[in-house]
Amino acid sequence: MSFLRAAWLVASKDLRVELRAREVVVAMSLFAALVVLLFAFAFVKEGQTTPDAAAGILWITVALSGTLGLGRAFDREREGDTLSALLMAPVPRASIYVGKLIGIAFFMAATELVAAPLVAIFFDVPFGAHALPLAGLLALGTVGYAAVGSLFAGMLSRNRGRHVLLNILLYPIIVPVLIAGARGTQALLVLPAPDTEQVWLWVRILAMFDVAFIILSLWTFEPLMTSD
Amino acid sequence: MKRWFVLALLAAALHVAPALAQSPSPAPTATAKPGSSEGWVADDRAANMHMGDQGFQSTTMVTASYAFIWLAVLAFVASVWMRSGKVEREMAELAERIRRAEGTPGSGTGKA
Amino acid sequence: MRPLKNLSFLVGTLAVAAVMLVVPRMILAAPVPMDTNGVTPMAYAQKIFYFHVPTAWCAYLSVFFCAGGSIAHLMKRSRAGLAIATAAAELVVVFGLCVLVTGPLWGRMQWGRWWDWTDVRLVSTLILWMTFVAYMFVRRYGGPGSEKLASGLALFGAVDAPITYFAVFFWNKLHPQATVVRRGGMAPEMAKAFFLSLAAFTVLYFLLLAIRVRLERARQRLDDAHLAADEAGLLDV
């Protein structure tokens, strides 16, 4: 079985399970909406929310709901001990990782479809006018996040303290990606016209993080997931 | 264990030699070109005394930084020192237990 | 015999420590920067540079060793690699803390505020430091299997920091350049004091690394002895 086909099978399995249960994406979206609301309350000034904060809030929301999704998605694998079964399959281990990454990235993308409009409404920012570049930034950021997140969540799936540890491990590594995404989004919202040069700069930085994280994950997934 | 002393001595030589060579020499010469408005000038201790509050604050910051680094390093050494003490105590304790167990007939055959 | 060995380590480290008290003399003698207003009182704070930069160098060197040890541990299951990674991670935290404390002290005088979010060096050092604090946390509270987790974290941390640093450094032309070393480079006295300090800190770093690696190796041997004694049934009594 080819690498990509195995990866796609794992991803489509995750997506099919999710389509039937709808548990993870609903939980993530609901949580994302709550986070945006909390931030909206926190940043109200004279009856108005501060548009400057919108970019950062969008990315923090993505990060927080992403952690929730990662934890739940891998808990599901743990409950039936299906992750061990998956790892026993006669396919390259790295393809399992890529499949997991694709699944998580889809969950996060679905959540972002809820979070971004909410931020646009509550913080009065024209995300709609820049939908395409914003989607590009979010896609790159999501892939970077999911790349590190699914590796760490996978490593932690057998650990008792996984919910605490996932946050502590993931955030220091992912902060630069969040900064890049937020700065790129900010550049997009500059008035009167988006600062295209800056947006491109951050897009390239995000792409670089994605490439580095994915290469490193593919390289370390095998030894990291081997239990001894 | 000798090599640690060698290292330490090396470090000592590394520091003391240039410092001693430096001390009898007169104050460093100014390197700012006469015409330019930026550059490096000799640290004149006497002038430093008249720098007022901000000069004092600057010197305090430098001293505080240096002191902090040393506190951190010493704290680290102290912690390693205490932890090795603990490991050594545990090793002695284990050795004692093994000796007692080996002394008892009928228990244990292997050699740890 | 053992306490004696331990003592010599302490003596070695203290000797270096004592000797490094000589370095400030040179730093005091080094020239100060002068700008269009002449020598301002704030200029004296520039001397933090002489130990701020060497500690940063040690911290980054330590990241390198931690990543190297982690690779050896992950790929070759090397326990020596794990010991080096453990020791180096702790030293990243120690030296990183020094960088993060001395940086703002200097910034307070230079910029008038403790922290500058636009300074990518400061921010990337903070992120790196957090990563290795997380490393220590995982090793301490991670439970069984935490060594691998921590090794993975160290690798990602080691890749993360340079990207953050170089990405912004090369591509963001808006970023303010380093003001520590001004145009015209370092004056000869300044260079002498700086490189002396750098050498001293590097030697100190390797000494600290050595004592910490030695402790970790002793711990590993203790664990092995425990296991072996247990297997031989010597600990049932």
Model pLDDT for residues A55-84, shown as the tens digit of each residue: 899 999 999 999 999 988 888 887 777 877
Sign of CA dihedral A152, A153, A159, A165: positive
Residue A23: per-residue pLDDT = 84
Domains of chain B, by residue range, sit at 75-105
Nearest to residue A216, comparing CAs of C153, C131, C66?
A: C153
**B103 interfaces chain C, CB cutoff of 8 Å:** no
Asked whether the predicted pLDDT for residue C161 surpasses 80, the reply is no
> Which tokens belong to C173?
């032309």
Residue-wise pLDDT tens digits, C53-66: 889 899 999 999 99
Asked whether the predicted pLDDT for residue C183 surpasses 60, the reply is no
Percent of chain B residues past pLDDT 70, beyond the cut: 42
Asked whether the predicted pLDDT for residue C89 surpasses 90, the reply is yes
Residue C95 — very low, low, confident or very high, per pLDDT cuts 50/70/90? very high
pTM of the model: 0.82
Out of B55, B85, B100, whose CB is closest to C41?
A: B55
Does residue C177 sit within a domain? yes
Contact A168, C155 (CB under 8 A): no
Residue C35: per-residue pLDDT = 60
A48 SS3 class: strand
**C42 interfaces chain B, CB cutoff of 8 Å:** yes
Residue A10: per-residue pLDDT = 86
Residue C171: per-residue pLDDT = 55
Is there a contact between A209 and C130 if contact means CB atoms under 8 Å apart? no
Mean pLDDT over residues C58-87, rounded? Answer: 93
Which range, of A194-203, B17-26, C219-228, averages the lowest pLDDT?
B17-26
Is there a contact between B43 and C19 if contact means CB atoms under 8 Å apart? no
Residue A118: per-residue pLDDT = 92
Residue C220 — very low, low, confident or very high, per pLDDT cuts 50/70/90? very high
Contact C155, C70 (CB under 8 A): yes
A-chain residue closest to C167, CA distance: A205
Q: How far is C203 from chain B (nearest CA, A)?
A: 7
Residue stretches of chain A with pLDDT short of 70: 1, 227-228
Asked whether the predicted pLDDT for residue C39 surpasses 80, the reply is no
Mean pLDDT over residues C111-122, rounded? Answer: 73
Does residue C217 sit within a domain? yes
A-chain residue closest to C124, CA distance: A176
A-chain residue closest to C153, CA distance: A169
Mean pLDDT over residues C184-208, rounded? Answer: 78
Question: Could you tell me which residue, C35 or B96, shows the higher pLDDT?
Answer: B96
Residue C83: per-residue pLDDT = 94
Mean pLDDT over residues B40-62, rounded? Answer: 62
Residue B21: per-residue pLDDT = 42
Residue B82 — very low, low, confident or very high, per pLDDT cuts 50/70/90? very high
Asked whether the predicted pLDDT for residue B8 surpasses 90, the reply is no
Residue B26 — very low, low, confident or very high, per pLDDT cuts 50/70/90? very low
Residue C29: per-residue pLDDT = 65
Is there a contact between C31 and B19 if contact means CB atoms under 8 Å apart? no
Residue C174: per-residue pLDDT = 43
Touching C: B residues 64-93, CB under 8 Å: 64-66, 68-70, 72-74, 76-77, 80-81, 83-85, 87-88, 90-91
What is the tally of structural domains in chain C?
Answer: 1
The overall longest dimension of chain C from CA atoms, in Å, is 80
**A148 interfaces chain C, CB cutoff of 8 Å:** yes
**Count of CB pairs separated by less than 8 Å, B with C:** 240
Distance set, CA B48 to CA A30, B55, C44, C45, C140 (Å): 62, 7, 9, 12, 48
Mean pLDDT over residues B60-87, rounded? Answer: 88
A and B touching (3 or more beta-carbon pairs closer than 8 Å)? no
Concatenating the DSSP letter of every residue in C21-57 gives TSHHHHHHHS-EEEBTTBS-GGGGGGGGHHHHHHHHH
Asked whether the predicted pLDDT for residue B93 surpasses 70, the reply is yes
Nearest to residue A203, comparing CAs of A152, A140, A145?
A: A140
Mean pLDDT over residues C109-136, rounded? Answer: 82
Residue A76: per-residue pLDDT = 81
Question: Could you tell me which residue, C229 or A45, shows the higher pLDDT?
Answer: C229
CA-to-CA distance for A24 and A32, rounded, in angstroms?
12
Does residue C175 sit within a domain? yes
Q: How far is B4 from chain C (nearest CA, A)?
A: 6
Asked whether the predicted pLDDT for residue C106 surpasses 60, the reply is yes
Residue C175: per-residue pLDDT = 42
What ipTM describes this predicted complex? 0.86
CA-to-CA distance for B54 and C45, rounded, in angstroms?
10
State the amino acid at position A129 in one-letter form.
A
In terms of phi and psi (left: phi > 0; alpha: psi -120 to 50; beta: otherwise), the region of B107 is beta
**B15 interfaces chain C, CB cutoff of 8 Å:** yes
Question: Could you tell me which residue, A17 or C120, shows the higher pLDDT?
Answer: A17
Mean per-residue pLDDT of chain C: 79
Asked whether the predicted pLDDT for residue C180 surpasses 90, the reply is no
Does residue C37 sit within a domain? no
Residues of C with Cβ-Cβ distance to A151 under 8 angstroms? 152
Is there a contact between B112 and C19 if contact means CB atoms under 8 Å apart? no
Which structural domain, as residue segments, surrounds residue C217?
Answer: 50-231
Out of C124, C149, C155, whose CB is closest to A216?
A: C155
Distance set, CA C99 to CA B69, C9, C54, C75 (Å): 9, 25, 9, 32
Residues of C with Cβ-Cβ distance to A158 under 8 angstroms? 145
Q: Residue A169: which residues within 8 A CB-CB, separation 6 or more?
A: A152, A156, C134, C138, C149, C153
Q: How far is C135 from chain A (nearest CA, A)?
A: 8
